[in-house]
Structures are given as C-alpha cells and as structure tokens.
Homo-oligomer: A and B are copies of this chain.
Amino acid sequence: MPGTARRADRPADRLPARAGSRYGNRPTMKDVAARAGVGLKTVSRVVNGEPGVTPDTERRVQEAIEALGFRRNDSARVLRKGRTASIGLILEDLADPFYGPLSRAVEEVARAHGALLINGSSAEDPEREQELALALCARRVDGLVVIPAGDDHRYLEPEIRAGVATVFVDRPAGRIDADVVLSDNFGGARDGVAHLIAHGHRRIGFIGDMPRIHTAAERLRGYRAAMEEAGIPVAESWMSLGVTDPERVRRAAEEMLSGPEPVTAVFTGNNRVTVTVIRVLAEQPHPVALVGFDDIELADLLQPGVTVVAQDAAALGRTAAERLFRQLDGTFLTPERIELPTRLVMRGSGELPPAR
C-alpha cells in the first residue's frame, strides 16, 4: 500500500512507556521567560541571536538560561520551521568496509550543511529498505540518500512529491525517475577482464553477487563484453552469481578451478567475493590470476599483490550528498545519472600468465 499510513506497526509504537520521574523536567523557554521576567519572544530572540534586545535584557535572559540549564528543543523548533536539518542514509550494511567511507563522506557533506545523518542498514532486504525509508520520511528528514536493496521505488513517489530530496547511490532507483550516482561498473569490469585477456588468459571465471543487484549485473555485462570483444566464447560454468557468503563463493571458485578445462583466471565481482577467492586461490597448486572489483585493504602486501578495479566509495557518497543539498536549495533539477570512473590498480595477481 504505497502512500498510505498503517496501523500500529511503526517503530515508535513499540516504545516502552515513558518513565515518569526522570523525564519531563526540562526547562522550556517559558520557564526561562518567567525566571528572567521577560516575554517568551524575548527569550527566543536571545537564544537565536536575533537583534533588538538591550544588553541588559539579554544578560538577564542569559543568566536564567544558565541557572536553569536550558537547551532549546530543536525538535519543537523543527516542527514549526518545516525543515528538520537531518537526512537519512540507507545502505546495505554499515559493517561492510565499502560503506564506511561512503557513509563518512555523506556525513561530512551533511555537516557542512548543518544537517545530521540518520543511518540505516537494509541488510539487502527490499522490505526493510522500504520500512526504513518510510520511517525516515515520517520523521520528516529533509532528504534521503539510498543505496537501494529493492528494484521498485514507487513507494517513494508521494514522499518525493511532498519535497523529500532523494538521491540514489551505487545502484539506480527502480521504476521511478531519480538522481543516481554510480561507478562505471560496466566499464570497470570490462577493463579488468580485458586486462586478464591481454595477459594471455582465455578461460576466465566470473564470480559475482546476486544478479538482481544492479552492480552485479553490470559487472557481469562488462565481463561478457570484454570476452566478446576478444572473440572468446564464454562457457556457462565460468560464471557464478549469487549470495556472497564465503561458502557459496568458495564452492563456485573450486568448481571453476577443477574439471578438465579449469579457468586460469578469475574476475571477482566485489570486495567480499575477492576476499574469499584469495583464500581459495592460495590453496591451488598452480598460480591463478585474479582481478577484483573494489579495492581491499592490504591488497598490496599479499603474495602476489591483488590487482583490482578500484572505485572511490567516498567520492560516491560525497557526490550524492552534494547533489541532495542542491536539490534542497530549491533549484529545480532534472534527475541525472552521474557516473564516476573506476581505476585499474595493477599489483601482480592480474598480471600472472595462464598456468599450464
């Protein structure tokens, strides 16, 4: 039911009842006004640094503020003002090293614009993504930066129409027209695979994330394009897409590396896949070439160093957040697709010749 409100199923409803005595004793502007012997509006003027208050009045108000330990309730302020000075970021998993720098970059831009950042992990679950996004909209965040898990974002249309700025990152929105900032997944993967081909490989495996994920599909497309451009027919058994947990990836890699016609090189579709495949390759009797999408820490210290197609996670986050605040500036912007280049970093594993 897009665009509707549901009953009693939102986070706030499950909160424990307010615990009596500890709370509610915060002083308000009214209290400050009473103590300082001035009107409410005068307190507001002082707190907000508005002009038109005599130094003497101001001092009295300041004293009352300090004596009471008053701190303005921004959530009341926000209700009146319209803007909440907060934005939401929905990503897959904050614990993934790819999202840390991205998230930090979004935070820095938000900070520069005086906004706070609310983070949420979708755990790659479209329902959880939607639940989170709508909860954030209910809190009236000014904007949303979304790394989508789902492929249908029509549920956001009423929100966008109501003024919630929205930018998608890493993967495009599904079934709505919205800004998106992404890496050149297709080109990056194609270049990486072409690099392996240039080093003599013909039987090259591809192990990636679930095909419904845009980046996984694009990178596979890049793999296919490179192979086709080189005139190499691709065997179905060379490609494996699915969840990125170590067991699945390990099995996929081991299968490609066994049998009568094993692959001599592997292209891995993201950082998690790469890490697992490195372990598998370390156990192989012959060296197997490897190029991975996404850079990984210490990649240069392994034997051999890991050649990667690096994307700039921080730049993705920064670009998206900047776009978000441009939307919020009020200038009307036609939804755009901004593509950031990737960079092939050669460290050894991608320059190994085919074994046998």
Taking CB atoms and an 8 Å cut-off, the chain A residues in 312-340 that contact chain B are: 314, 328-330
> Are the C-beta atoms of B74 and A113 separated by less than 8 Å?
no
A35 to chain B, nearest CB (A): 14
Q: A107-B121, A297-B297, A329-B19 are in contact. Are A114 and B11 (CB under 8 A)?
A: yes
> Are the C-beta atoms of B158 and A82 separated by less than 8 Å?
no
Q: Which residues of A contact B (CB under 8 A)?
A: 1, 3-5, 7-16, 18-20, 22-26, 46-49, 62, 65-66, 69-79, 81-86, 93-97, 99-101, 103-104, 107, 111, 113-121, 134-140, 158-159, 161-163, 275, 278-279, 282, 296-298, 301-303, 314, 328-330
Chain B residues near A65 (CB, 8 Å)? Answer: 4-5
Chain B residues near A103 (CB, 8 Å)? Answer: 94-95, 119
A39 to chain B, nearest CB (A): 17
Chain B residues near A5 (CB, 8 Å)? Answer: 47, 65, 70-72
A174 to chain B, nearest CB (A): 20
Q: How many identical subunits does the complex contain?
A: 2
> Are the C-beta atoms of B4 and A66 separated by less than 8 Å?
yes
In the assembly, what is the distance between CA of A255 and CA of B306, in Å? Answer: 30
A60 to chain B, nearest CB (A): 14
A33 to chain B, nearest CB (A): 13
> Are the C-beta atoms of B94 and A97 separated by less than 8 Å?
no
Chain B residues near A47 (CB, 8 Å)? Answer: 5, 7
Given contacts A11-B114, A11-B116, 14 further A-B contacts (CB under 8 A): A4-B66, A7-B46, A8-B49, A11-B115, A16-B329, A18-B82, A23-B162, A24-B163, A69-B158, A71-B134, A71-B137, A76-B79, A107-B120, A117-B118
Q: A118-B86, A140-B73, A301-B278 are in contact. Are A163 and B11 (CB under 8 A)?
A: no
Q: A66-B1, A97-B97 are in contact. Are A18 and B83 (CB under 8 A)?
A: yes
Chain B residues near A329 (CB, 8 Å)? Answer: 16, 19
In the assembly, what is the distance between CA of A163 and CA of B24, in Å? Answer: 8
The 7 closest A-B pairs by CB, nearest first: A19-B330, A7-B49, A8-B49, A11-B114, A14-B114, A69-B158, A95-B104
In the assembly, what is the distance between CA of A77 and CA of B140, in Å? Answer: 12
The chain B residue sitting closest to A16, CB to CB, is B329
Q: A97-B297, A114-B12, A330-B20 are in contact. Are A138 and B48 (CB under 8 A)?
A: no
In the assembly, what is the distance between CA of A121 and CA of B101, in Å? Answer: 12
In the assembly, what is the distance between CA of A65 and CA of B97, in Å? Answer: 41
Chain B residues near A11 (CB, 8 Å)? Answer: 85, 111, 114-116
Q: A5-B47, A93-B104 are in contact. Are A14 and B113 (CB under 8 A)?
A: yes
A5 to chain B, nearest CB (A): 5
B14, B74, B101, B111: the one contacting A140 at CB < 8 Å is B74
> Are the C-beta atoms of B100 and A158 separated by less than 8 Å?
no
In the assembly, what is the distance between CA of A22 and CA of B72, in Å? Answer: 28
A287 to chain B, nearest CB (A): 15
B23, B83, B135, B159: the one contacting A163 at CB < 8 Å is B23
Chain B residues near A66 (CB, 8 Å)? Answer: 1, 3-4
The chain B residue sitting closest to A271, CB to CB, is B297
> Are the C-beta atoms of B275 and A114 separated by less than 8 Å?
no
> Are the C-beta atoms of A16 and B330 separated by less than 8 Å?
yes
Chain B residues near A111 (CB, 8 Å)? Answer: 11
